[in-house]
Chain A
Amino acid sequence: MTESRSQTLAASINSSLAGLMEADDRVVLLGEDIGRLGGVFRVTRGLQATFGPQRVRDTTLAESSIVGQAIGMSLSGLLPICEIQFDGFCFPAANQIITQAARLHGRWGGTDDLHLVVRIPSGGGTRGVEHHSESNESIFAAVPGLRVAYPSTGEDHRAVLDEALATPGPVLLYEPIRLYWKRVPPAPAAVPPRHPMAVRTVRPGTDVTLVTYGAMTLTALAAADEVASEVDVEVLDLRWISPIDHDGVLESVRRTGRLLVVQESCLTHGVGAEVAATVAEHAFTSLKSPVRRMGAPHEPMPPANDEYHHVVQHKDIVQALLEVVS
């Protein structure tokens, strides 16, 4: 697909949504300013003109309303895909997501389930003002009953949407804002994911397994390429952070004997901690060096001028990779 390779992530998401709406009348989009404006990131640009205001719905400015009504719409037979404007604003919807969407299956006696996607633009690197550059995916990844994805490419994003619509249960779909308009390099097809929820091997390697996800995948890949003459790094993009494809990570770590986990969000209580703990439990005897984790300190995302010191940078990963193998 040469065409998709030259697309930005934003354009690719737009085409995926258009394709899904074209193929299935039950798909509806809900969010603040997604229709007339095309979303604050223009990800849904043009969709309302094509599919009409009934299916591309500019909602009231109320996140609980967005997710709450989508739950009801899903129960009525639709396939709603919601957009939260920025991840800093998903908390008003947290009650509907956590106490309702995530628990519906059990409460309805296992007879019903939701096809519900909540897209959440997330992360820093675009000089966002307060609450416009956070990474809160770990909070929701900790909630049983939710599946949480954080893809880094348009192809993976499409795969997440396909999985979410084909299989029951709500999905939170995090989107890396700083990759929206980047010309993302083509996804290496070397090792295709073993199954739809599996890790993707972005770069095969033999010396160390670098596990990451979201926008950090590109940073990590660049760092791996930079140290290639000294360290052969295997880069895994988790794609799904709940459930995590632990088997895929363990298989790689058993080969390389080393693990570095990199995430943009706070290190504490995070996705990386879960990966590290699982490797320590199940691949301890394969390890040649201590597991290493990198992430933000346990502090709120700072003003944009200080982001550089808060979020893991390319140079930090380069240094860590050299240290892990030494």
Chain B
Amino acid sequence: MTQVTTGLTSAMRRQILEQMLIARAVDEEAILLRKQGLIDLWAPCTGQEALQVAAAYALDGVVIVPSYREVAVALVRGATPEQVVAGWSGRSFCGWQPRPLRMFPFTLVLASQMLPAVGYALGTRIQGRAEPVAVFFGDGASSEGDAAEAFNLAAVEQANVLFLNVNNGWAISKPTSEQMRTSIAARAAGFGIASRQVDGRDPEIVYDAVTAELRLLATEPGPRLIEFSVDRILSHTSSDSQEIYRDEADIAAAVSRDPVAAYRRRLLEDGTVDPDWLAELERRTSDLRADLLKEYAR
């Protein structure tokens, strides 16, 4: 998992760590805002920062259709922390402008984003300007009928779609082992979608995988799917306590694999960042948190 497989420059690796730390800061602040009753709900991306940040960089310019937990993806795309929180605060249904960011709004009806994502790709092809589309969805969402319809439609139409499954092992309190008999990658293969499983805890592996799949999407016909495994470190949202349905050892194991801590350690150890760089970033994230508090304390 620590093997460096990519040609990422040091600057790029620092940027990935920076965005991972920013996403973590937004998560932490939003959780506090929720506890203070200043926002209404929060679905943290804690544990998914490596996957989300690296995928968002690899997807540079590609239309992204998110599920509802892609906080770090939106931040990398250029949404401000205030905009990412807006949808959870009663201010609007989507804080950012979808067109300029080339990122659709979050979808709260699970899996309902998948068919429009396929349609968008087909629509651009019909108009002679075929564009790839990347669509995120969870392990839980994969049980919805629309997920199966989207797989089949994309496969039979050979649509230019990259399915990005985020398998964090849980759909609220339902573990993956009780949701499905096969992996999501295996299921996708059955539909005729080229698929593979990738560790979503290492941003460099993620970056490589998404970059490679995008390249294949451009050269080979048909949709592709990556099933990322990630850990769910926190409860599902601010509205549940995972201690009710998940045993302590499992939670502790997830915490011990925290991708942000791991990547921070790694870049510090290999000299890509130093304590001064981290201290400077720490100042920036605490400013950012203070701004977010000020914004939502109004």
Majority DSSP secondary structure for residues of B touching A: helix
A109-B94, A111-B99 are known contacts. Are A100 and B122 too (CB-CB below 8 A)? Answer: no
* CA distance in complex: A96, B59 (Å): 26
Q: A76's contact among B112, B114, B124, B156, by CB below 8 Å, is which?
A: B124
Question: Taking the complex as formed, is A159 at the interface, i.e. its CB lies under 8 A from any CB of chain B?
Answer: no
Q: Mark B92-115, 1 if CB is under 8 A from A, else 0.
A: 111001110000010001001011
A62-B152, A65-B149, A112-B98 are known contacts. Are A70 and B119 too (CB-CB below 8 A)? Answer: yes
Q: Mark A1-42, 1 if CB is under 8 A from B, else 0.
A: 000000000000000000000000010100000000000000
A60-B156, A68-B115, A100-B116 are known contacts. Are A106 and B93 too (CB-CB below 8 A)? Answer: yes
* CA distance in complex: A103, B105 (Å): 12
* CA distance in complex: A4, B145 (Å): 43
B119 vs chain A, min Cβ distance (A): 3
Question: Taking the complex as formed, is B205 at the interface, i.e. its CB lies under 8 A from any CB of chain A?
Answer: no
* CA distance in complex: A166, B151 (Å): 33
- Residues B145-166 near A (CB distance < 8 A): 145-146, 149-150, 152-153, 156
Number of A-B residue pairs at CB separation under 8 A: 105
Question: Taking the complex as formed, is A78 at the interface, i.e. its CB lies under 8 A from any CB of chain B?
Answer: yes
A53 vs chain B, min Cβ distance (A): 11
When distances are taken between beta carbons in the complex, the residues of chain B under 8 Å from A72 are: 115-123
- Residues A59-81 near B (CB distance < 8 A): 60, 62, 64-65, 67-78
- Asked if residues A55 and B126 are in contact (CB atoms below 8 Å), the reply is yes
Q: Mark B57-68, 1 if CB is under 8 A from A, else 0.
A: 000000000000
- Asked if residues B126 and A28 are in contact (CB atoms below 8 Å), the reply is yes
A64-B146, A65-B149, A75-B116 are known contacts. Are A95 and B109 too (CB-CB below 8 A)? Answer: yes
- Asked if residues A99 and B112 are in contact (CB atoms below 8 Å), the reply is yes
Nearest to A25 among chain B residues (CB) is B127
Most buried by B among A60, A73, A78: A73
- Asked if residues B123 and A107 are in contact (CB atoms below 8 Å), the reply is no
Interface range for A: 20 to 34
Nearest to B112 among chain A residues (CB) is A100
Q: Mark A92-117, 1 if CB is under 8 A from B, else 0.
A: 10011001100100111101100000
Q: A71's contact among B97, B115, B121, by CB below 8 Å, is which?
A: B115
B11 vs chain A, min Cβ distance (A): 34
- Asked if residues B116 and A69 are in contact (CB atoms below 8 Å), the reply is yes
* CA distance in complex: A107, B117 (Å): 16
* CA distance in complex: A65, B147 (Å): 10
- Asked if residues A108 and B123 are in contact (CB atoms below 8 Å), the reply is no
A78-B126, A100-B112 are known contacts. Are A73 and B99 too (CB-CB below 8 A)? Answer: no
When distances are taken between beta carbons in the complex, the residues of chain B under 8 Å from A107 are: 93-94, 105
* CA distance in complex: A68, B151 (Å): 13
Question: Taking the complex as formed, is A229 at the interface, i.e. its CB lies under 8 A from any CB of chain B?
Answer: no
* CA distance in complex: A26, B127 (Å): 8
When distances are taken between beta carbons in the complex, the residues of chain B under 8 Å from A75 are: 116, 119-120, 123
B98 vs chain A, min Cβ distance (A): 5
A54-B126, A68-B149, A96-B112 are known contacts. Are A76 and B120 too (CB-CB below 8 A)? Answer: yes
- Asked if residues A65 and B153 are in contact (CB atoms below 8 Å), the reply is yes
When distances are taken between beta carbons in the complex, the residues of chain A under 8 Å from B121 are: 72, 76
* CA distance in complex: A26, B129 (Å): 13
A308 vs chain B, min Cβ distance (A): 37
When distances are taken between beta carbons in the complex, the residues of chain B under 8 Å from A73 are: 119-120, 122-123, 126
A62 vs chain B, min Cβ distance (A): 5
- Asked if residues B115 and A96 are in contact (CB atoms below 8 Å), the reply is yes
When distances are taken between beta carbons in the complex, the residues of chain B under 8 Å from A55 are: 126
When distances are taken between beta carbons in the complex, the residues of chain B under 8 Å from A92 are: 145
- Asked if residues A69 and B97 are in contact (CB atoms below 8 Å), the reply is no
* CA distance in complex: A27, B297 (Å): 48
Nearest to A107 among chain B residues (CB) is B93
A64-B146, A108-B98, A109-B94 are known contacts. Are A76 and B115 too (CB-CB below 8 A)? Answer: no
When distances are taken between beta carbons in the complex, the residues of chain A under 8 Å from B153 are: 60, 62, 65, 69
A60-B153, A99-B109, A111-B98 are known contacts. Are A65 and B127 too (CB-CB below 8 A)? Answer: no
- Asked if residues B149 and A62 are in contact (CB atoms below 8 Å), the reply is yes
A55 vs chain B, min Cβ distance (A): 7
When distances are taken between beta carbons in the complex, the residues of chain B under 8 Å from A112 are: 98-99
Most buried by B among A28, A103, A108: A108
When distances are taken between beta carbons in the complex, the residues of chain B under 8 Å from A28 are: 126
* CA distance in complex: A92, B153 (Å): 15
A64-B115, A68-B116 are known contacts. Are A76 and B123 too (CB-CB below 8 A)? Answer: yes
Q: A64's contact among B99, B126, B145, by CB below 8 Å, is which?
A: B145
When distances are taken between beta carbons in the complex, the residues of chain B under 8 Å from A65 are: 115, 149-150, 152-153
* CA distance in complex: A55, B125 (Å): 11
Most buried by A among B92, B118, B119: B119
* CA distance in complex: A107, B113 (Å): 13
12 cross-chain CB contacts under 8 A: A28-B126, A60-B156, A64-B145, A64-B146, A65-B152, A65-B153, A67-B115, A72-B120, A76-B121, A96-B116, A99-B109, A109-B93
Which residues of B line the A interface, CB within 8 A?
A: 92-94, 97-99, 105, 109, 112, 114-124, 126-127, 131, 145-146, 149-150, 152-153, 156
A-B contacts besides A72-B120, A108-B105, 7 pairs, CB < 8 Å: A64-B145, A65-B149, A69-B153, A72-B116, A72-B123, A76-B120, A78-B123
Nearest 6 CB-CB pairings of A with B:
A68-B115, A72-B119, A76-B123, A69-B119, A73-B123, A72-B120
Which residues of A line the B interface, CB within 8 A?
A: 26, 28, 54-55, 60, 62, 64-65, 67-78, 92, 95-96, 99-100, 103, 106-109, 111-112
